[in-house]
Structures are given as C-alpha cells and as structure tokens.
Structure 1
Amino acid sequence: MDRIFQGKNRALIGAHRGASAYCPENTMSSFNKALEQQADMLELDVQLTSDGHAVVFHDFSLERTTNGTGFVSEHTLSDLKKLDAGTWFSEEFADEQIPALEEVLAWAKGKIVLSIELKQMEHLKEPLAKRVTDLIRSYQMEDQIQLMSFNHASLAEARKHSKHILTNVICSSRLADPVRYLKELQAQVLNVPINQLSPSLIEELHQARYYVHGSMSDDIGVWKTLQEWKIDAMDTNLPDVMIRERTIHHS
C-alpha cells in the first residue's frame, strides 16, 4: 500500500492540478507538462457529472475556468466535453477539454503517480468514492494512486471499496491526535500546510509509520523548510522550480 513513498530518499513533488503555472489547470496539457517537467506525482480533482461519470475539475461551478455555467454535477459528460476549458488561461489553449478520469487513468498508467482529490458534494449523496475506486481497480492502478480529500467520509467510503489504495487526509486545521485519527480512518497520509506542521509532529507520524504531505506551496522557502523537516511530499504549481531546489536526504 505504501509503495508510492516507500524507500524514497527525497521528498516527492506533486504537480498541483498539473503544471498549472504553465497550462490551464486539470487539463491534459497541464498533465503532459508536469510529466515533461519530471514531477513525481500529479494532483488532480475529481467529481461526478449528472450522468454519473467521474470528471477532472476543481471548482464545483464551471464559470472560473470554462465558458460554461452552473454546477459540474448538473451537466452530462457529453455536455461538459463541449466546453472550452483553456481560453481563460491563454488563447494558446483554446478548445482544451475537461478530461474524464478514465482518460487520465489510461494516459497515466505506468507513467506517473496520481494524487486524486475527491470533491464530494455531501448533500447530493453521490457515489463518488465507489465510482473512483471501481475505475482505479479496473485499470489495475491501486499501487499507483493515492486518494485525497477534505471530506474524510469520502476516504472512509473509499476504504470500504479498496483495502489497497493509499488514502490521504487533507486538513486545514491541527488535529488533536493525528496518529489516532489516521488509524481510525485506516488512512496512511496526513496532508496539512506548513503552519500546522512541526519537526516533532512529522517525526511522531513517521515513528507511527504514517506519511506527511505538506499541502501546496509555490514558496521555495517553505519547500526548503519542509525538506529539512523530512516531509514526504509537497504539491506545487511550479514542479520544475521545486525539483531544482530539491535536496537528497540520506537516511
């Protein structure tokens, strides 16, 4: 289950929504750029369409990054495929499509680790975790993916459908007892920003055989500090920059 992090002597860099400083976020252009820049992992967001397909999209509504309107969950996959998800970023990316998760899995298999964030609209009672775990299992990619979410019920639901996919608990505030919490959720990774971390907390989690993901930052100073603290991973919109600033930790 911990094959993604096991045996690594350096902190891993995840490309946040792809190499999203260079290409429109959560698009195949952004994912290809992340691969080209040699990111260790690719972070992307997934939610369900009205006809039950998993699509790669961050916001619950379409306005910021497409020429569409309304909630993603109100549209079918075929409707979403007609939208332009690139022009908002640059004319160079006109007609870039919203990818289906299945397209990304087929493209990524054997190439790059995926950090898939489950974007759960709780009141809709969507079967998001089951749909995503079923897809991952059908592509035989359980050892190449970690599932992440701010919605910890989604991670608990994912665990019901897969005993093997690594799960990553995203928190914006400090947990009172993170080791106990991860154990109860049957999760493997705590994911928090630097203001919720300390060297002693990271050491405590490592001693309990958990991993620590330092959220997302484009600040080189944050990245250097987290590496000194022996972080396991951090996401960034600038994977090439952070990879150049990476140090090797010999343990």
Structure 2
Amino acid sequence: MTTITNLDRRPDGQRAGSGLPLVVAHRGNSSVAPENTLAALDSAWRAGADVVEVDLQLTKDGVAVVIHDERVDRTTNGAGRADQLTAAQVAGLDAGDWFSDHFRGQQVPTAEDLLAFFVGHPGVCLLAELKGTWGTEDVRRVTEVVERVGLAERTVVQSFDVGTVKALRDVAPELPRGLLVDALPEDLIALCRELRVMALNPSGLLLRREPDLVDALHGEGLRTMVWTLNEPAHWASAVAAGVDGIITDRPDRLRGWLDAAHDLPGGR
C-alpha cells in the first residue's frame, strides 16, 4: 500500500525508490476534469499521480467541503461564499457543468466523500489544503475522520495560515503537516521547527528566486513539494533542484514526461 513515507529521502538526498519527485495532481487532474471533484480525483489516479492535492473549506454549518475559492461562483452553478451556505445548499450545486456538459451533475464533495475515495484507491496519497484560518475545533472535523478511516499514513494536511498549522499540530500532532509559502518568512527553519511540519511547500516563483532553498530544507530533514508547475522546462528545473514533489494541473503529462525523460516504464 502506498503511504506518505514515499516522501522519505535516502542519505544521498534522493527520494526513496525512483529518486524522482512525486507527481502531485493539483485539485485532481484539473486540466481534463472539473477541479476538486471526484471526477478529477479519479482522472488523477488513472493518470498515475502519486498524490492528489485538494482544497477544503467549511460551510456555514461547519461541514468541510472540497472547493478552492471563498465563493462558489467560479466552479459551480451557485453564488455566494461557501462559509455562508449550508452543507445541504452546497450539495445541491452542480460543480461540473461549468467545465463541460460531460461532467454535468458532479457535486462538491464533502470531506467524508473525499476520504471515502482514498479508502477505495489505495495507490494514491492525499495532500489537503485547509483554506483560510481554522481553529482547533475546526481542524478536528477533518483530522478525526482521517484517523478514523485509517488514512493518517497517506495524508499530509497543509495551509498558508500559520495559525491553522498550529491548530493541526495541537489537535493531531502525529498527522503529517505542511506549510505553504509564496515568500520566505523570517526565521523559516525556526518556524518549521515550531510547527513541527514535515514539508515546506513553496511556489515555483519562490523556488526560482531562492535556488538554495531545497538543499536548506533537506538539511533540516524537511521535504518540499513545489507548486504549480505545468511546463516541461519548469519540471526540469524542479527535478534539478531536488524537490520531493511537483504539484501540477497536468499530472498525466508530468508522469509521461518523467517516465520518458528518465527511461522509466509507464505508470499504472
């Protein structure tokens, strides 16, 4: 069974196994299916992604749902802020029709739906971003379900919000955590130690500005998954930098590129 220990690094600095970065599907296979839907997750799995990244927000009545934007307008047929709609209202939205007629009827998954998918697809791991600020009771709504269904070894929960990562640390200290950044905070390593994260995940632009960042993180035993890279030239730079994972909207193409460029057999 695939676990998040696929991110472990050997003493020579290469990822255990192939030595290549993990393919992380951004919001699922979001270039060919509507982002953050079960269809996008299934497409990412079929494309051979190692990890699927999704976004979680809380509804008005405290249910975690899989959607990126604060408002539902862009990716559903509804309108308004997700945190001002009830879970029942969100469940009634169409999250696929905006992408194409083929995906009409796709719903906004709940965290329960999301985790059920991963239980049924043991060959892929989950990278879940909590959007905005979540308190301890908020994060518990997610972490308790992750632990109950047995997915803790296949899940990393991350956020841009330091307070949210602290809440994750306090509520579920054994659950792997990540901190997202698009600029380097002061005392980065000290912050990572305080949060006890296993991954520091930078933007591609930040990685290009800070070429020594990956080595510095690896020196602290931290992993790094860079976001969101969609072009071969950027993939090549990330591989050369030694990143542990590449987050992309095109997991099928990245998988093929990695396999072809490094003479590996095809994915699943």
Give the structure-2-normalised TM-score: 0.87
What CA distance in whole angstroms lies between the structure 1 residues aligned with 2:138 and 2:66?
12
Task: Please name the residue that 1:60 is paired with.
Answer: 70
What CA distance in whole angstroms lies between the structure 1 residues aligned with 2:133 and 2:189?
27
Gaps of 5+ in 1: none
1:121–1:206 distance in 2 versus 1, CA, 3 Å: closer
What CA distance in whole angstroms lies between the structure 2 residues aligned with 1:128 and 1:43?
20
> Does 1:203 find its partner at 2:215?
yes
Query: Alpha-carbon deviation of 1:4?
Result: 3.9
User: 1:2-41 to 2 correspondence within 5 Å?
Assistant: 3-6=5-8, 7-8=16-17, 9-41=19-51
Q: Percent identity?
A: 28
Query: Alpha-carbon deviation of 1:57?
Result: 0.6
> Does 1:242 find its partner at 2:244?
no
1:85–1:183 distance in 2 versus 1, CA, 3 Å: same
What CA distance in whole angstroms lies between the structure 1 residues aligned with 2:138 and 2:129?
11
| Matched AA of 1:117 | E
> Does 1:230 find its partner at 2:226?
no
Task: Please name the residue that 1:216 is paired with.
Answer: 228
Q: CA RMSD in A?
A: 1.9
Secondary structure of the corresponding residue to residue 144 of structure 2: helix
Query: Alpha-carbon deviation of 1:80?
Result: 1.0
In the TM superposition, what whole-angstrom CA distance separates every residue of 1:8-62 from its partner, at most 9, and x where no partner exists? 4210011000000000000011000000001010000001112221111111111
Secondary structure of the corresponding residue to residue 216 of structure 2: helix
> Does 1:69 find its partner at 2:79?
yes
In the alignment, is the contact (CA less than 8 A) between 2:177 and 2:199 conserved in 1?
A: yes
In the alignment, is the contact (CA less than 8 A) between 1:171 and 1:192 conserved in 2?
A: yes
In the alignment, is the contact (CA less than 8 A) between 1:114 and 1:145 conserved in 2?
A: yes
1:2–1:30 distance in 2 versus 1, CA, 3 Å: closer
Query: Alpha-carbon deviation of 1:2?
Result: 6.1
Query: Alpha-carbon deviation of 1:120?
Result: 2.4
Task: Please name the residue that 2:143 is paired with.
Answer: 133
User: 1:115-194 to 2 correspondence within 5 Å?
Assistant: 115-121=127-133, 127-194=137-204
Of 54, 68, 72, the residue aligned with 1:44 is 54
| Matched AA of 1:170 | L
Task: Please name the residue that 1:95 is paired with.
Answer: 105
Moved over 6 A (4+): none
Secondary structure of the corresponding residue to residue 115 of structure 1: strand
Gaps of 5+ in 2: 9-15, 263-268
Count of residues paired in the alignment: 247
1:178–1:140 distance in 2 versus 1, CA, 3 Å: same
What CA distance in whole angstroms lies between the structure 1 residues aligned with 2:101 and 2:4?
41
Secondary structure of the corresponding residue to residue 88 of structure 1: coil
Secondary structure of the corresponding residue to residue 183 of structure 2: coil
What CA distance in whole angstroms lies between the structure 2 residues aligned with 1:31 and 1:241?
16
